[in-house]
Structure 1
Amino acid sequence: MTPVSSAYQASLRLAVAPMMDWTDTHCRVFHRVLAPHARLYTEMVHANAVVLGDRARLLGFDPVEHPVALQLGGSEPQVLAQAARIGADWGYDEINLNCGCPSDRVQAGRFGACLMKEPALVADCVAAMAAAADVPVTVKCRLGVDDEHDYDRFRAFIDTVAAAGCRTFVVHARNAWLQGLSPKENREVPPLRYEWAWRLKRERPDLQVTVNGGIASLEQAQAQLQHTDGVMLGRAAYHDPYLLHRLDVALYGGTLRGRGELLRALRPYVEAQLARGVALKHIVRHVLGLFHGRPGGRAFRQILSEGAHRAGAGWALVEQALQATEAGPVAASG
């Protein structure tokens, strides 16, 4: 395996979760501006799509996104191995196997959270992927499925997969209900049991353990880091992206920048994308939460939401939205 970079290793402490329909390349470039040191993840891509589909569309990313991981879905070791090799060849720093998504579509394809019930299969998948790719292969999982509440079974799953070559586990600290709950409810209803992730790290100190689920503040993240190697933010990083910036500064150092300054740093990327024919709406939908809870935040969202889909919309619209947040002395502090 190619030695991992120091930036990749350091990024273990803070990550943004793979989120379907959200963490596309435009979102990740924005998050990179906010959090120069965090580990970023793609949306889940099925291994078959990587092998057979439009790779430029599915796998393309901007070099500023490093360190960035490709999350794969699937349960066929040889197909996953092919996809992992392709992902590594495209330049991803990590290949992650999804063992946590509970949607019906995922279950029908025998991947995602239902793989928690098949540790030997997951181990075969990881071994094949690790043999094919020269970058780290990691796993994102739940604590269990449905009404399983057995820590020893969870640890046995981890041990089986670790023996196949996985050294890093992202633990969404809830069970996944395969029947009766929507994917949204599966992120909110099953109770969080962070202590399982903490115990796993104590009992398996040689593994890298990142905890995910319900972390929505700087204080919560710092508390988790007393027990685990890293924290992964999902919806909180998307709906309140300035939190991601605050966390990066708190964990890695640097100077806290104002929201407007951060957004203006995205301007060269936005204008380059517009020049390529990308519509503004596809980029700015990811920045709508930047002024969450701040004066002018509602007007900021409204101006972008109503104007970005119009033909010819460009950076001037973003400046118009920013002006709505800078109209008063209170709003100008960032």
Structure 2
Amino acid sequence: MLDKTNVKTLDKVVVRFSGDSGDGMQLAGNIFTNVSAGLGNKVSTFPDYPAEVRAPQGSLSGVSGFQVSVGVDVHTPGDLCDVLIAMNPAALKQNIRFLKPGGVVIVDIDSFKEADLKKALFETLDPFKELDIKAQVVEVPVTSMTKAALADSGLDNKSILKCRNIFALGFVCWLFDRPLEGALRMLKGKFAKKPAIFEANAKVIEAGYNYGNNIHATVSTYRIETEEAVPGVYTDINGNTATAWGFIAASEKSGRPLFLGSYPITPATDILQELAKRKDLGVKAVQMEDEIAGVCSAIGASFAGHLAVTSTSGPGLALKSEGIG
């Protein structure tokens, strides 16, 4: 039904997936990213994890997000998004400031009941008016449509609700004219040992895509310019892996052996895990007993002539502050 909607052709588009920390926004964002890359788009992503210990469901402090910029000449994830997907009121409230004027907001309207609004500290029952949203709001019954699609699946209610993110992903794939084949391949790979879960997600993503085809909404859809695919080997790399490789390159160029002393903490743990694999390149990666030991071991290694590194995020930096000082 793209001919019945307002089609915008852009060089690049920024999409922000947001929801509760258990809503699977990272998975939906990663799949959309990889599907777009497979179509010839350049991509840049920014996963946005809550810094707190798992917050109460539906609360403002528990919102998780994933932003991706896709198109041509893409170098950053972008500051503001063209499309915001909000799976609950807290996600809408925390992320509406990142939406461009005239953009599109897609909400799971089933999650905007009075109790949900109270959890997100809304003062009225009209969150869109309260936030003074100047955008196209698309109210999609994600939860109820997901339940309907999986009514005969044999899955329990908790498992069915875990598929809501994939319904939203299907709708977004329709919005950007992305074919589902690539997404289905990724889902099949992820749930290779859980065929029932794959079948459920495959049914749900198609339901989301078909819902977009059938709603006849006056919502802008997007066609994104692509670059001609050049034969070669392509790598999907995240920031932590790139950081680890950068340390190794700096070690090689400086002629000093690389030492990492660190303590696991999401999302910085990936740096420790990546460097632990690189003994063949002379990397010494040591998991210490706490954050203070991590920074102190790095200081000691630097005195011994190493290119010494420690890694952390959020509250871990506060724990390292004495050693850093």
Q: Do they fold alike, i.e. is TM over 0.5?
A: no
The structure richer in strand per residue is 2
The structure richer in helix per residue is 1
After TM superposition, the score normalised by the length of structure 1 is: 0.33
After TM superposition, the score normalised by the length of structure 2 is: 0.33
Between the two structures, name the one with larger relative contact order (CA 8 Å, sep ≥ 6).
2
* Greater radius of gyration (CA): 2
